[in-house]
Structure 1
Amino acid sequence: MKTIVFTGGGSAGHVTPNLAIIAKLKQLGWDIQYIGSKEGIEKEIIQHAGIPFHHISSGKLRRYFDLKNIKDPFKVVKGIGEAYLLLRRLKPSIVFSKGGFVSVPVIIASWLNRIPVISHESDMTPGLANKISIPFVQRICVNFPESLQHIKGGKGICTGLPIREQILRGKASKGLELCDFHKQKPVLLVMGGSLGAQKINAAVRESLGTLLERYQIVHICGKGQLDESLTKRRGYRQFEYVNEELADLLAMSDLVVSRAGATSIFEFLALGKPMLLIPLTRQASRGDQLLNAASFEKKGYARVLFEEQLSVDTLVSGVNAVYDGRSEMAANIRANEQAGATAAIIELIQASSLK
């Protein structure tokens, strides 16, 4: 039986695509192991999926000044040592990385152990962790054809995003029952990412009086960001975070308001959901969500509302514009040619593990 080690963490977007590949490799008889950080969201997600989880030290590598920059490199070095010994014990044929800073020590330790690595970059341009890792990996899979120009050495390959089969199997009836919604009004799903988004949350709640006239709203607002005063508001249901229920909530939803993290928007694309995207600003990120959102808007999959322009009026008009133009947007989404990412990546894994 061949063994593969997965790594990646820091956000759900660095973990959930791995689950799509893991499910298929399990069917093929592979032994699956996962290396992540002790406190990261990846630990909960992976252990919940019943996959053996090993944690190492990891530090965030920042582009800006922070006192933590002094000690975090030592955490990375410690993590390389821990990952090196773990890999010697687990003896994987190959390592697959989804990015995030915990992946850097694992990838370098794999290189030191002469274990081939395949990495995946979801965003338009490589994040810092993947940039550091490029010299140590065999191939980097990307979602956007435009990304290939940023991958040196001919290592890039456009596969698209592996989509969890679970997310495709949702039942609208279960979502309606969970939220106590009905079929007479369309359903708007609002997602701010796994950690929530305070500005989006505030704008949605300030807009409820207008939005609820036309839509039922399910709002995934992030940990600690529930508004208890709105728990009994008819037609509005809020959750801090959802896991298995997300597939059912998406199945019942007619349109989505979301950040523009690549994992989420490619899952919406696979489900044919019209989108209003509110990307993180350059002040709050490296600008990857702005590029993701611009690409989707150019292809007719979504409309974009910049956070600097977010208000009650712009949110309501943006939501209505997406809903009113949903037929054209859905047609553009159906014409999307990107499919079979999971199969393509598994083929790469199997081929690379033979070398």
Structure 2
Amino acid sequence: MSKRILFTGGGSAGHVTVNVALIPRFIALGWDVSYIGSIKGIESELISNIDHVDYHGISTGKLRRYMSVENFKDPFRIVKGVFEATNLIRKIKPDVVFSKGGFVSVPVVIGAKLNKVPIIIHESDLTPGLANRIALPLATKVCVTFPETIDHIKSDKATYVGAIIRDELRSGNATRGLNLLKFSNNKPIVLVMGGSLGSKKINGAIRNNLHTLLEQYQVVHICGKDQVDPSIQLDGYQQFEYIHDELPDVIAAADVVVTRAGSNSIFEFLALHKPMLLIPLSRAASRGDQILNAQSFQKAGFAEVLLEEELTDESFITSLELTLSKRVQIVDNMAKQDQTSTIDQVIQLIQKASKRK
């Protein structure tokens, strides 16, 4: 009988990409793969592109850092999700559960514990998110991306594994990327990514400065869901909601990346030696994890940082120019970093945990 693994995680692309990297490996090893996510979250879209994965949607809550009547409904949604996840796990009978975090993972981890299924958690950020902090006491093992994270978890469950990079990103071809974008080699290419849901502030900074930017650069702008502006049609500027299969080629063609500071993305750009201008989510809109991620990368010489609170049209242009002026130095720093893939180590941890059941 084949081994069975159940993945969970969602709410944003950052809570899915590690799963997307691992799933093909387990399919190739002959495991049966299932996924529990939210009914309409981005994880349902991303996982649906992968063959041989049974996807199940459950009820889930959401962490909001503002007052909303939905905050009073969420506890009931989470309780409903626990019942749904518990029943699904009884039917799927997984040998192990791998959780990437996000609030959809909380009911799944609870359901796995109630069914006595081993649980491996993955934490990408320097400090653990709320969902993973809730799940930590229930976990068999916690894989962390930053060595410093072990100090924040303070548990012998924590294991430093480093960053998990999707294999397909390493296959990008710059020429294909240029052809897709209809760009030339005459000007540097700036790739702008504000996260899977987009960033209105980053999008605004790009569009407010677009004519100035296009004098020196070509810009590929991944805007996020429903944030493309079809009224903007300019040579040297391409915008998309999201890029799937062509993303490796687009990244390969880019000279510098403007992005948030979600851990999964910035470690992928590090592995691909792409200099970054990081604009982390502010503390007003988050728990501050992206600021810590960005500071760590800036200290290592992998990126420049522009805090969202300091983002203006002028500061954006200045910070971008600074990043490009340091491009050779940044790439050199990145090349010295140990880029050994940790995916095999994580697979071994999962396989070992599955034998405990």
- State whether TM-score is above 0.5: yes
Cα deviation 1:293-319 (Å, max 9, x = unaligned): 000001000000011211222111111
TM score, norm. by length of structure 1? 0.97
Alpha-carbon shift at residue 21 of structure 1 (Å) = 1.0
**Counterparts of 1:164 and 1:18, CA distance in 2:** 9
Q: Offset of 1:64 from its aligned partner?
A: 5.6
Aligned equivalents of 1:338 and 1:169: distance in 2?
15
Q: CA deviation at 1:167?
A: 1.5
Aligned counterpart in structure 1 of residue 106 of structure 2, from 104, 107, 124 = 104
Alpha-carbon distance in structure 2 between the residues aligned to 1:71 and 1:225: 28
Give the counterpart letter for 2:355 in structure 1.
Answer: L
Counterpart-to-counterpart distance in 2, 1:137 and 1:297: 32
1:48 aligned residue = 49
> Are residues 63 and 139 of structure 1, via their aligned partners in 2, closer, same or farther at CA, if it must alter by over 3 Å?
farther
Q: Give the distance between the partners of 2:190 and 2:73, measured in 1 at CA.
A: 44
8 A Cα contact 1:2 1:93, kept in partner? yes
CA drift of 1:338 comes to: 4.8
Which piece of structure 1 moves more, 94-103 or 12-21? Answer: 12-21
Task: Tell me the CA shift for residue 189 of structure 1.
Answer: 0.4
Q: TM-score normalised to the size of structure 2?
A: 0.96
Provide Cα deviations, 1:29-66, integer angstroms capped at 9, x if missing partner.
11111011101110011011122101111112456654
Unaligned stretches of 5+ in structure 1?
none
Structure-1 separation of matches of 2:86 and 2:198: 35
Superposition deviation, residue 89 in structure 1? 0.8
2:126 alignment partner AA: M
Q: Which runs of 5+ in 2 are unaligned?
A: none
SS class of match (1:154): coil
Q: What's the CA shift for 1:152? A: 3.2
Tell me if structure 1 keeps the 8 A contact 2:261–2:280.
yes
Residue in 1 that maps onto 2:198? 196
From 177, 183, 186, give the equivalent of 2:185.
Answer: 183
Match of 2:166 in 1: 164
Q: CA deviation at 1:148?
A: 0.7
Report the identity percentage.
54
Identify the residue that residue 97 of structure 2 maps to in structure 1: 95
User: How many residues are matched?
Assistant: 354
List, as ranges, runs of 4+ consecutive aligned residues in structure 1 with deviation greater than 6 Å: none
- Take 1:213 and 1:120, find their aligned partners in 2: how far apart are those partners? 43
Distance 2:212 2:33 in 1: 49
Task: Tell me the residue number matched to 1:243.
Answer: 244
1:141-156 → structure 2 map (5 Å cutoff): 141-156=143-158
Does the 8 A contact of 2:65 with 2:285 survive in 1?
A: no
CA contact (8 A) 1:61 1:73 kept: no
Say whether the 8 Å CA contact 2:190–2:220 is kept in structure 1.
Answer: yes
Conserved in 2, the CA contact under 8 Å of 1:160 and 1:338? no
Alignment of 1:343-354 (within 5 A): 343-354=344-355
Contact 2:11/2:41 (<8 A) preserved: yes
Q: Map of 1:242-321 to 2, 5 A cutoff?
A: 242-321=243-322
Aligned to 2:29: 28
User: RMSD of the TM alignment (CA)?
Assistant: 1.2
